[in-house]
Amino acid sequence: MINLIIWLVVGGVIGWLASLAMKTDGQQGVFLNIVVGIVGAALGGLLISPLVGVGTINQDAFSLGALLVSFLGAVILLAIVNLFRRGSVR
């Protein structure tokens, strides 16, 4: 249970940082950015991590590589959401 809480908190922080990087923190709202960031971080960890050979943030392996891959997944998913909501990636 504690791993799930840590995973959600780290995913939320990654989502918030990704929204700052994408400059969507004011337009989409904090809640949507955090949720999209958590989902993007999870998808990035599941899809990209095996390709580059790093662990995921939900495997008790909080490495810098895992955090960067999760951040990349969150940025990509935020860009996709922004594309559908606004019609441009930014």
Enter the pTM of the model: 0.75
Q: What is the pLDDT of residues 9-33, one digit of tens each?
A: 877 888 888 878 877 766 667 788 7
**Residues sharing a CB contact under 8 Å with residue 70, sequence separation 6 or more, in sequence order:** 10, 11, 14, 40, 41, 42, 44, 45, 56, 57
What are φ and ψ of residue 4, in 5° steps?
A: -65, -40
The fraction of the chain above a pLDDT of 90, given in percent, is 0
Q: What is the pLDDT of residues 58-71, one digit of tens each?
A: 555 567 777 788 88
